[in-house]
């Protein structure tokens, strides 16, 4: 197997669809299926977190109807892979727009590959983080995390995308070695990034 | 870490070796010894003799010792057949008591000594984190003590329980190591300069010891308890 093969995670309840995509990737190369999740339940969530996928292909109907519009941010909370919607039924445009691309059951195999490539290319806004010291922006975001703000709220405050927030958070954890919100709060307090007295 | 079966090294631990030699081989087994119910003063007894005197299943004891001694040790299903599930549950239960009643207390004492020179605000911040960790761990153990272990012992007594299966435990076996890792990093890297270096090392040593022990504890749950229960569940069907 080539090492530059992109890893794809499928989230679909349909074995037929999963096998179909697997066989397309098998024929055309470049992508390979690294995992298949049948739903977005609790167990799938933890598997998603532990999986290093480059692209996720997801059937938005795995989310219940009211949750569907938050599907993309649920994925972003658990993975920073590009996300491609797989249309198996008529899907609201608003839902599809959240995703980096969308493919349909009737797309030709080469079209699917092309769309996956586009989705990956569209995801290069990753903030680069050099050195081991926290940058100014990272410190600002750390303070928000320590105060208990959600990714969405932080994104709104700094006018950046939720994915950028997640990347900053990953860099913060990599640099400090601290993973939990409670731990980051202790870090922020000990380093006087937040005032201990104001925090109660 | 690669998991491997029938590691040739694992065969070095046998019932015929002297218990003293076993402990000499890996002093991390000291905790296992007391938690399984073996007592010091065993003289030159072999593992089997010492176990027999204290009413401990030697095969189970050796199995636990192997998990502690060989990284990534995965017992084969044949080895699992020789272990006693009741003893495994008993051991896990003893370990829970040890963590909550002894290890965490010792850790807390050492943290208190370490933080003595700090100002109150910093003390409070670290204590709050430690307390949250303790509660998380205690919650994790409580679920095992109140749901998982009674279920396992129930199967052994052929009590039917339609509401629970070990797969639920397997899927929800949460990770309790994250906060411990954070605590280690905070203490090693970010404590105020007033803290005494000697006291910091004592705390770190305690943390490493606890981390290692919890890691092995989880391995016993994942690689011994769950497969043994899986097999029993298949039998019951």
The 3-state DSSP class for residue A151 equals helix
Do A57 and A88 lie in a common domain? yes
Domain assignment of residue B199, given as a range = 84-236
Q: Which residue has the higher pLDDT, B79 or B130?
A: B130
Angle between helices A181-190 and B177-189 (to 10 degrees): 10
Check which CATH number belongs to the domain holding A99 and give it.
3.40.50.2300
Do A111 and A155 lie in a common domain? no
**DSSP code at position A124:** -
Q: Are B84 and B57 in contact, with CB atoms under 8 Å apart? A: yes
ipTM over 0.90: no
Partner-chain contact B125 A190, CB within 8 Å: yes
Mean pLDDT of B198-203: 97
pTM for this entry: 0.68
Tokens encoding B36:
């399984």
User: Average pLDDT over chain A, rounded to whole?
Assistant: 86
Using CA atoms, how far apart are residues A63 and A56, in angstroms rounded to an integer? Answer: 15
Tens digits of residue pLDDT in A90-99: 888 878 888 8
Strand A55-58 and strand A82-87: the pairing is parallel
Using CA atoms, how far apart are residues B85 and B232, in angstroms rounded to an integer? Answer: 10
**In this model, does residue A17 exceed pLDDT 70?**
yes
Segment among A49-63, A161-175, B3-17 with least mean pLDDT: B3-17
**In this model, does residue B127 exceed pLDDT 90?**
yes
| Distance of residue B171 Cα from the nearest chain A Cα, in angstroms | 6
Partner-chain contact A190 B122, CB within 8 Å: yes
Of the pLDDT bands very low, low, confident and very high (cuts 50, 70, 90), residue B124 is very high
pLDDT the model gives residue A127:
61
Partner-chain contact A177 B183, CB within 8 Å: no
Partner-chain contact B129 A186, CB within 8 Å: yes
Tens digits of residue pLDDT in A100-149: 888 988 999 989 999 988 888 866 555 665 677 899 999 999 999 999 99
Do A107 and A35 lie in a common domain? yes
Using CA atoms, how far apart are residues A42 and B120, in angstroms rounded to an integer? Answer: 40
**In this model, does residue A4 exceed pLDDT 80?**
no
Domain boundary among B55, B80, B105: B80
Do B24 and B93 lie in a common domain? no
Do A64 and A102 lie in a common domain? yes
Q: Which residue has the tokens 């006087």?
A: A192
Using CA atoms, how far apart are residues A190 and A187, in angstroms rounded to an integer? Answer: 5
Interface test with A, best of B119, B123, B125, B183 (most A CBs within 10 A): B125
Of the pLDDT bands very low, low, confident and very high (cuts 50, 70, 90), residue B3 is very low
Residue A16 C-alpha from the chain's centroid: 25
**DSSP code at position A4:** T
Using CA atoms, how far apart are residues B126 and B187, in angstroms rounded to an integer? Answer: 9
Q: Are B5 and B80 in contact, with CB atoms under 8 Å apart? A: no
Do B68 and B95 lie in a common domain? no
| Distance of residue B185 Cα from the nearest chain A Cα, in angstroms | 6
Q: Which of A109, A152, A151, A148 is nearest to A22 (CA)?
A: A109
Q: Are A71 and A25 in contact, with CB atoms under 8 Å apart? A: no
Of the pLDDT bands very low, low, confident and very high (cuts 50, 70, 90), residue B209 is very high
pLDDT the model gives residue A71:
83
Number of domains chain A is built from: 2
Q: Which of A149, A150, A151, A139 is nearest to A192 (CA)?
A: A139
Number of domains chain B is built from: 2
**Virtual torsion, Cα B181, B187, B191, B193, nearest 10 deg:** -150
In this complex, the residue of B132, B171, B186 whose CB is nearest that of residue A187 is B186
Tens digits of residue pLDDT in A66-79: 888 788 878 887 88
Please indicate, yes or no, if residue A126 is contained in any of the structural domains: no
Please indicate, yes or no, if residue A128 is contained in any of the structural domains: no
pLDDT the model gives residue B159:
84
Domain boundary among B13, B48, B80: B80
The 3-state DSSP class for residue A36 equals strand
């Amino acid at each position: 197997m080539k090492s530059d093969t992109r890893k794809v995670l499928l989230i679909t309840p349909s074995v037929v669809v999963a096998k179909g995509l697997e066989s397309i990737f098998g024929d055309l190369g470049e992508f390979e299926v690294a995992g298949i999740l049948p739903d977005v339940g609790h167990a799938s969530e933890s598997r998603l977190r532990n999986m290093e996928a480059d692209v996720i292909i997801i059937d938005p109907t795995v989310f219940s109807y009211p949750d569907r519009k938050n599907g993309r941010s649920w994925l972003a909370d658990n993975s920073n892979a590009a996300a491609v919607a797989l249309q198996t039924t008529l899907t609201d445009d608003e839902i599809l727009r959240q995703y980096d691309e969308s493919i349909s059951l009737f797309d030709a195999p080469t079209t699917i590959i092309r769309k996956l490539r586009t989705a990956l290319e569209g995801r290069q806004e990753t903030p680069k983080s050099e050195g081991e010291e926290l940058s100014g922006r990272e410190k600002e975001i750390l303070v928000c995390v320590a105060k208990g703000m959600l990714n969405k709220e932080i994104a709104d405050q700094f006018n950046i995308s939720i994915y950028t927030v997640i990347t900053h958070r990953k860099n913060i954890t990599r640099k400090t070695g601290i993973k939990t919100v409670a731990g980051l709060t202790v870090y922020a307090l000990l380093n006087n990034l937040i005032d201990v007295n104001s925090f109660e | 870490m690669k998991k491997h079966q029938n590691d040739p090294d694992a065969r070095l631990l046998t019932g015929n070796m002297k218990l003293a030699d076993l402990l000499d081989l890996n002093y991390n087994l000291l905790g296992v010894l007391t938690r399984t119910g073996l007592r010091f003063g065993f003289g030159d007894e072999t593992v089997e003799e010492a176990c027999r005197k204290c009413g401990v299943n030697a095969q189970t004891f050796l199995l636990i010792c192997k998990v502690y001694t060989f990284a990534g040790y995965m017992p084969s299903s044949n080895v699992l057949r020789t272990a006693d599930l009741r003893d495994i549950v008993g051991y896990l239960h003893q370990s829970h008591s040890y963590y909550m009643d002894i290890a965490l207390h010792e850790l807390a004492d050492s943290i208190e000594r370490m933080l003595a020179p700090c100002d109150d605000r910093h003390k409070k911040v670290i204590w709050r984190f430690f307390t949250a960790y303790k509660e998380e761990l205690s919650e994790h153990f409580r679920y095992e003590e109140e749901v998982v272990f009674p279920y396992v012992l129930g199967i052994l007594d052929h009590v039917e329980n339609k509401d629970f299966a070990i797969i639920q435990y397997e899927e929800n076996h949460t990770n309790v190591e994250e906060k411990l890792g954070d605590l280690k990093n905070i203490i090693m890297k970010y404590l105020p300069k007033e803290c005494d270096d000697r006291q910091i090392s004592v705390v770190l040593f305690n943390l490493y010891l606890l981390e290692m022990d919890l890691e092995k504890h989880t391995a016993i749950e994942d690689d011994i308890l769950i497969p043994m229960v899986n097999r029993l569940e298949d039998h019951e069907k």
